[in-house]
Every structure is written in structure tokens, then in C-alpha cells.
């Protein structure tokens, strides 16, 4: 039963991911984190970090991870692998089918006014949705007690250690070496190293907050 849910959830996510990679995040939020509760928000963020530093598109990697953890919760490593296979196939299947059909009908598909109209509507909306995911994630790291659905009763406490690290990494983001931006893995490694120092070794959070 859980496997059917896993398949259906990821089939939907695969079907509605338009614009690739990070465009999948809003759906993962609504369906996997809020909807099914299969992983927590912080598990999702941790895994984005891992997926960015391993080969392969991170959206597919995230599906494999969720499938694995759902399966493992049910009954160990083997069921976990089955879950990983289920979620990975489900997330790839919609686009596999659509691409093959579209490759056959290329010209008609691209020029069709309804197809064009659909994407005209969807493209900016995807930007808004990923922006929403970005805002949610930013606040969960910097001001963890803000609730967007209940702003009046939210606490606006700032986690200064996280804010400083986020600011440091966003500064590094603009650094260019030989005209090229630094690779995402570099930011992840910096995050991990500084994270161990400020949250592990010195435990800055308690002394500041």
C-alpha cells in the first residue's frame, strides 16, 4: 500500500516538475513533507546538500532517498532498496513517456497554441513557487520560529550563527576565479566545515542566543 502511495506521489511530482531540478522542490514540500510526512523539512534540506555533491540530477537523487527511507522504516535495507527503485522509476516515468511522444510529434507539439499557452501560464508560476520554497527554507534556517500561515503569532527570534554563515556563503557566491563561479560542492563543504566548528566545537548558538 505504501509502495502504491510512493509510486503515485512521485509520479505526480515527476509529471508536474516543469523547468527541471529545483522546480521539483515546491511539489516535494506539498506532497512529501507536508502531505505524507515521509521526511522532515530539515531532512529534505540535508539531502539537497548531499544530492548536490553526488553525481546525477538532484531531483532524481531526492526521489531515491525518500523512497529508501520510507522503505527502510517499514522493514530494513532490502525493503528500502525496493522503495528507492519504486520512487525513482515513478519520478522518471511521466517524462519518459511524454518525451517519446513529443519526439515523434515535435513540430506539431511545439507550434500548438494550446501547448504554448500552457507553458506561457506555467513558467512564471514555477518561479513564484520556487521563490516560495526559497523563502520558507531561508526562514527555517535564519528565523526558525516564523510561521507564514500565522504571522501574527510568530516569534521573530534570529539564529545569529546560521545568519552569519548564510551571509558568508552568499558572499562567496559572487567570487569568481578565472571568470567562473565556484562549484556548488565548494559551498556545501564550506557549510559542513564551518557548521562543525560553530555548532559542534564552539556551540556558538547557546552562547549567543
Partner 1 sequence: MKNKDKKNSLWDVFLAFFKIGLCTFGGGYAMVSVIERDLVNNKKWITAEDMMNMLVIAESTPGVIAINSATFVGYKRAGVLGGIVATLGAVMPSFLIISVLSYFILAVQNNIWINAAFRGIRCAVVILIINAVIKLSKPIKKTWLTVLCIVIAFVLSTFLEINAIYIILGSGLLGIIYYGIKYRKMKEVPTETANQDEKKEEE
Applying the rule CB under 8 A, the residues between 140 and 199 that interact with partner 1 are: 141, 148-149, 151, 162, 165-166, 169-170, 173, 183-185, 187-188, 190-196, 198-199
Distance CA 47, CA 196 (A): 17
Residue 147 to residues 44, 136, 140, 141, 151, Cα–Cα distance (Å): 18, 9, 9, 13, 6
CB of 18 to partner 1, least distance (A): 5
Distance CA 134, CA 169 (A): 15
Among 131, 158, 208, 209, binds partner 1 (CB under 8 A): 131
In this structure, what C-alpha cell is assigned to residue 31?
506532497
Distance CA 38, CA 74 (A): 12
CB of 4 to partner 1, least distance (A): 18
Give residues 14-53 in contact with partner 1 (rule: CB under 8 A). Answer: 14-27, 29-31, 34-35, 42-43, 45-53
DSSP sequence for 117-139? HHHHHHHHHHHHHHHHHHHHHHH
Q: How many CB atoms lie within 10 A of CB 157?
A: 12
Among 74, 118, 145, 209, binds partner 1 (CB under 8 A): 118
CB of 158 to partner 1, least distance (A): 13
CB of 176 to partner 1, least distance (A): 14
Give the nearer residue to partner 1 in terms of CB position, either 118 or 145.
Answer: 118
Among 94, 143, 154, 182, binds partner 1 (CB under 8 A): 94
Among 6, 33, 59, 90, binds partner 1 (CB under 8 A): 59
In this structure, what C-alpha cell is assigned to residue 108?
506539431
Q: Could you give the dihedral angle defined by the CA atoms of residues 105, 56, 142 and 156, in that order, rounded to the nearest 10 degrees?
A: 40
208 binds partner 1 per the rule CB under 8 A: no
Give the nearer residue to partner 1 in terms of CB position, either 106 or 178.
Answer: 106
Amino acid at each position: 500500500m505504501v509502495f502504491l502511495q510512493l509510486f503515485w506521489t512521485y509520479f505526480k511530482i515527476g509529471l508536474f516538475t516543469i523547468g527541471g531540478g529545483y522546480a521539483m522542490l515546491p511539489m516535494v514540500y506539498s506532497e512529501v513533507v507536508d502531505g505524507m510526512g515521509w521526511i522532515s523539512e530539515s531532512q529534505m534540506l540535508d539531502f539537497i546538500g548531499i544530492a548536490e555533491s553526488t553525481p546525477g540530477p538532484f531531483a532524481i537523487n531526492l526521489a531515491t532517498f525518500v523512497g529508501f527511507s520510507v522503505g527502510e522504516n517499514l522493514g530494513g535495507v532490502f525493503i528500502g532498496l525496493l522503495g528507492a527503485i519504486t520512487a525513482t522509476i515513478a519520478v522518471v516515468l511521466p517524462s519518459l513517456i511524454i518525451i517519446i511522444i513529443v519526439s515523434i510529434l515535435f513540430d506539431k507539439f511545439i507550434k500548438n497554441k494550446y501547448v504554448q499557452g500552457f507553458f506561457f501560464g506555467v513558467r512564471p508560476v514555477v518561479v513564484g513557487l520556487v521563490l516560495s520554497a526559497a523563502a520558507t527554507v531561508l526562514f527555517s534556517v535564519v528565523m526558525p520560529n516564523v510561521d507564514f500561515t500565522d504571522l501574527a503569532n510568530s516569534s521573530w527570534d534570529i539564529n545569529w550563527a546560521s545568519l552569519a554563515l548564510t551571509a558568508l556563503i552568499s558572499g562567496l557566491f559572487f567570487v569568481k576565479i578565472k571568470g567562473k563561479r565556484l562549484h556548488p560542492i565548494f559551498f556545501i563543504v564550506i557549510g559542513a566545515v564551518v557548521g562543525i566548528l560553530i555548532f559542534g566545537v564552539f556551540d556558538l548558538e547557546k552562547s549567543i542566543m
